[in-house]
């Protein structure tokens, strides 16, 4: 990500298209994460336009810190915040100093790692705030998403890791497959405790939205596509790893 203003402008305009559905299924996956593990202290890196805390039951959470470099997104998060336990910081993760010495149980890096100029540098910074009990969740778009594999078989792209027009507009710096993601995490001293993909997306964002507008694809069908990862575990549109520090 080289131009944060252009990133902000595209991010806001993109919210009107199919991305809002992609965000919905990403959020559902993240909320399942909170059900699976017990977390008291949470760090969310990059909240976008809808911070996760506004959808969570915050009863058992003691401290929730959001780091977000885009000022407008911080303002939206502040407007959604009615919890004293939530702290919102307008800055880049590499500048974050844990002045309160919070022992984080969960660190969320959602749909971000593929946007930074140095994945290794971000992971090394995240590692500074991990203890042996900390779970770090990372998710990114999947190079082996069904729609990318289809594009390859149609000879529209040579390799599933090629940048699309959308990747270029969003200033993406990497298209990960699950093996590459896990290798990057291992290289930075993490090991996976759970990994996979979610939401099988057969077509591009623009094509999916066109099908939605014509009622060819319905929201019920989207739920079905999300559930299809049980049959196609490697081909969801996004991949994720839950990791801890390597022993």
Task: Write down the pLDDT at residue 2.
Answer: 64
**Tokens representing 57?**
């039951």
pLDDT, tens digit (0-9, with 9 covering 90-100), for 97-149: 999 999 999 999 999 999 999 999 999 999 999 999 999 999 999 999 999 99
- Pick left, alpha or beta for residue 27 (phi over 0 → left; psi -120 to 50 → alpha; otherwise beta): alpha
Which has the closest alpha carbon to 175: 202, 148, 136? 148
All domains of the chain, ordered by start, with CATH?
Answer: 4-245 (3.40.50.150)
Which has the closest alpha carbon to 86: 137, 49, 51? 51
Task: Write down the pLDDT at residue 13.
Answer: 67
Distance (Å, whole) CA 116 – CA 4: 11
Task: Write down the pLDDT at residue 1.
Answer: 58
Q: Coil, strand, or helix at residue 57? A: coil
Model-level pTM? 0.93
Residue pLDDT tens, the chain, 247 long: 567 777 666 666 666 689 999 999 999 999 999 999 889 999 999 988 888 999 998 999 999 999 999 998 898 888 888 788 999 999 999 999 999 999 999 999 999 999 999 999 999 999 999 999 999 999 999 999 999 999 999 999 999 999 998 888 878 899 999 999 999 999 999 999 999 999 999 999 999 999 999 999 999 999 999 999 999 999 999 999 999 999 8
């Amino acid at each position: 990500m080289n131009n944060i203003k252009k990133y902000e402008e595209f991010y806001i305009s993109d919210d009107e298209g199919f991305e809002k559905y992609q965000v919905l299924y990403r959020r559902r996956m993240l909320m399942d994460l909170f059900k699976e593990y017990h977390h008291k202290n949470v760090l969310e890196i990059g909240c976008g336009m809808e911070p996760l805390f506004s959808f969570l039951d915050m009863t058992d959470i003691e401290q929730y810190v959001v780091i977000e470099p885009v000022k407008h997104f911080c303002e939206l998060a502040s407007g959604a915040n009615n919890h004293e336990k939530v702290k919102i910081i307008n800055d880049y993760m590499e500048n974050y100093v844990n002045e309160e010495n919070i022992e984080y149980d969960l660190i969320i890096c959602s749909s971000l790692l593929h946007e930074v100029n140095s994945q290794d540098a971000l992971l090394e910074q995240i590692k500074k705030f991990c203890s042996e009990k900390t779970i770090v969740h990372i998710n990114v778009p999947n190079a082996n998403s069904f729609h990318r594999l289809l594009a390859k078989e149609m000879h529209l792209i040579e390799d599933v890791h090629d940048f699309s027009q959308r990747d270029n507009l969003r200033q993406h710096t990497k298209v990960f497959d699950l093996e590459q993601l896990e290798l990057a995490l291992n290289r930075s001293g993490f090991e996976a405790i759970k990994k996979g993909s979610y939401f099988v997306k057969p077509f591009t964002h623009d094509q999916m939205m066109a099908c939605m507008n014509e009622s060819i694809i319905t929201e019920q069908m989207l739920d079905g596509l999300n559930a299809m990862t049980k049959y196609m575990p490697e081909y969801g549109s996004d991949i994720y790893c839950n990791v801890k520090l390597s022993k």
